[in-house]
Amino acid sequence: MNALAATNRYFKQAVRILGIDSKVEKSLLIPYREIKVECTIPKDDGTLVSYVGFRVQHDNARGPMKGGIRYHPEVEPDEVNALAQLMTWKTAVANIPYGGAKGGIGCNPRELSITEQERLTRVFTQKIHDLIGPHLDVPAPDMGTNAQTMAWILDEYSKFHGHTPAVVTGKPIDLGGSLGRDAATGRGVVFGTQALLADHGKTIAGQKYVIQGFGNVGSWTAKILHEQGGIVKAISDVSGAVKNDAGLDIPALVQHVSIHGGVKGFAGGDSLDAASILAEDCDVLIPAALGGVLTRETAKDVKAKFVIEAANHPTDPDADEILAQKGVVILPDIYANSGGVTVSYFEWVQNIQGFMWDEEKVNNELQKYMIRAYANIKDLCKNQNCNLRMGAFSLGVGRVARATMLRGWEA
Ligand SMILES: NC(=O)C1=CN([C@@H]2O[C@H](COP(=O)(O)OP(=O)(O)OC[C@H]3O[C@@H](n4cnc5c(N)ncnc54)[C@H](OP(=O)(O)O)[C@@H]3O)[C@@H](O)[C@H]2O)C=CC1
Ligand SMILES: O=C(O)CCC(=O)C(=O)O
């Protein structure tokens, strides 16, 4: 099942739980606007290359649309649509005043030089600058993009609209980025994991963790778990996977990756087939890379007791059912990885106020938001007798539906 069909299915289950009218359901489901642009750039050798860029703005009932921009060869319209919709429910679960959007360019950033990435980002921004803005749609980093990408968007946007730091979040600190945003998604994943484990009488320390992906989200999650006494026993990225049953030395692995570009060849562990990482024996499995990795085929081999969805849409509905039958508890993406967009919100607030928070304040506020959202989800699960994914979807969809109905439709 593709990402959009899966996301629509979860949405429709929540609509049934909430008893939402079919007309409102339709209005919530259809994206506000879908943008598709051609981006042609000269490569460094002078030859031309063309890419397709997307921005799907799903909903703005609760505030400006918000979501990352992804550079990856597999970016395609249905997935961007699904990810935009997930952002709408995610910002509502976190209870921050935003709607949802997502964008992407179907390219492989590893095959582009830094100057080619810059040209591509600037061309994409030129094509969409009239449709984004601090009170309209605020992009941020996602897979394959980072603070530098946001700096180029800010610069290009500002040529048209004047200096506007709040047009993007996840930007460099020197350009108005927030302290703590780089680590925020991983830190939020750990706060969420902590809340879930506490519910099951467990703590972060002493549990065994396996993480798929060692980019922004995976590496920060690993670092913070390691600092808190978690045993991170296996990690994979595109280069391969490494494993150490006694726990990987995460700071040493970070250093290895900064030198070699991937986890492969790390001396502090044994190499492992990256394809088998999801089946590794552990307490907590954390997919933190691509979507759609837990399927009917892979879910049956999962040995973890908990799956924390640090990636967006890592679990398709077939896998969801198989894991539930096996008694695996899933912490859903629209809550588990909401720390990133929550600190993006803090960054936007700081930009609008022209004021900078210290990192301790950012992290303390993030913890409050993550604890509050978890409690809200649990209340819904209790009232509706549903699992955490449906608790989170019902919470998010319910909040957006109420805002939509309060605003009303033009007569
Ligand atoms: N950045 C953020 O703030 C947020 C991100 N997310 C989600 O988290 C996930 C990761 O994003 P982010 O960390 O930002 O992205 P990055 O680009 O920083 O990192 C992606 C990581 O995934 C790895 N990867 C890619 N494909 C595979 C694969 N097939 N098997 C194993 N590893 C793979 C990459 O490996 P390599 O480095 O070798 O290419 C890299 O380690 C995405 O689903 C994203 O949507 C969710 C909320 C916020
Ligand atoms: O920080 C943001 O605005 C969005 C992050 C994002 O794309 C996500 O949560 O999936």
Structure tokens at 70: 């992804």
Residue 332, helix vs strand vs coil: coil
Task: Judge if 30-164 and 182-336 fold alike in CATH terms.
Answer: yes
Give the separation between CA 171 and CA 181, rounded to whole angstroms.
9
CATH code for the domain defined by 30-164: 3.40.50.10860
Q: List, in sequence order, every residue forming a beta bridge with 38; answer none if it has no partner.
A: 52
Which residue positions in the chain have pLDDT lower than 50?
none
| Residue partners of 22: CB distance under 8 A and separation at least 6 | none
Is 185 one of the annotated binding-site residues? yes
Give the separation between CA 301 and CA 185, rounded to whole angstroms.
27
Closest CA to ligand 1's atom 31: 237
pLDDT digits (tens, 9 = 90+) for 354-395: 999 999 999 999 999 999 999 999 999 999 999 999 999 999
Closest CA to ligand 1's atom 9: 311
Q: C-alpha angle 18/23/29, rounded to 5°?
A: 75
**Ligand located closest to 311 CA:** 1
Q: Quick one: pLDDT at residue 379?
A: 97
CA 409 – ligand 2 centroid, Å = 28
| Residue partners of 345: CB distance under 8 A and separation at least 6 | 66, 91, 94, 96, 97, 98, 169
Q: Quick one: pLDDT at residue 1?
A: 81
Q: C-alpha angle 358/60/333, rounded to 5°?
A: 65
Catalytic residue selected from 23, 26, 36, 102 = 102
Do 398 and 16 form a contact (C-beta atoms < 8 A)?
A: no
CA 291 – ligand 1 centroid, Å = 9
Give the separation between CA 331 and CA 196, rounded to whole angstroms.
8
Do 185 and 310 form a contact (C-beta atoms < 8 A)?
A: yes
Is 344 one of the annotated binding-site residues? yes
Do 60 and 109 form a contact (C-beta atoms < 8 A)?
A: no
CA 395 – ligand 2 centroid, Å = 18
Closest CA to ligand 1's atom 19: 215
Give the separation between CA 385 and CA 391, rounded to whole angstroms.
9
Q: Quick one: pLDDT at residue 410?
A: 76
Is 193 one of the annotated binding-site residues? no
Cut 0.90: pTM above it? yes
Asked if 326 is an active-site residue, the reply is no
For residue 246, count other CB atoms closer than 10 A to its CB.
Answer: 9
Ligand 2 atom closest to 102 (CA): 7
Q: Which of 55, 87, 187 to mutate to test the pocket of ligand 2 (most atoms within 8 A of CB)?
A: 87
Closest CA to ligand 1's atom 39: 238
Give the separation between CA 337 and CA 331, rounded to whole angstroms.
10
Strand locations in 7-106 (E): 33-42, 48-59, 65-71, 100-105
Give the separation between CA 255 and CA 386, rounded to whole angstroms.
43
**Ligand located closest to 235 CA:** 1
**Ligand located closest to 342 CA:** 2
92 lines ligand 1 (CB under 6 A): no
140 lines ligand 2 (CB under 6 A): yes
| Residue partners of 403: CB distance under 8 A and separation at least 6 | 61, 62
Is 202 one of the annotated binding-site residues? no
- List the domain boundaries for the chain: 30-164, 182-336
Q: Quick one: pLDDT at residue 411?
A: 66
Q: DSSP characters for 176-193?
A: TPPTTHHHHHHHHHHHHH
Ligand 1 atom closest to 141 (CA): 1
Structure tokens at 394: 């019902």
Give the separation between CA 86 and CA 243, rounded to whole angstroms.
32
What's the CATH fold of domain 182-336?
Rossmann fold (3.40.50)
CA 140 – ligand 1 centroid, Å = 14
Q: Quick one: pLDDT at residue 409?
A: 83
Is 298 one of the annotated binding-site residues? no
Structure tokens at 45: 């050798």
Give the separation between CA 408 and CA 283, rounded to whole angstroms.
47
Strands 65-71 and 48-59: unpaired
Q: Quick one: pLDDT at residue 355?
A: 94
Any alpha helices (H) in 105-236, and if so which ranges?
114-128, 147-161, 181-199, 216-227
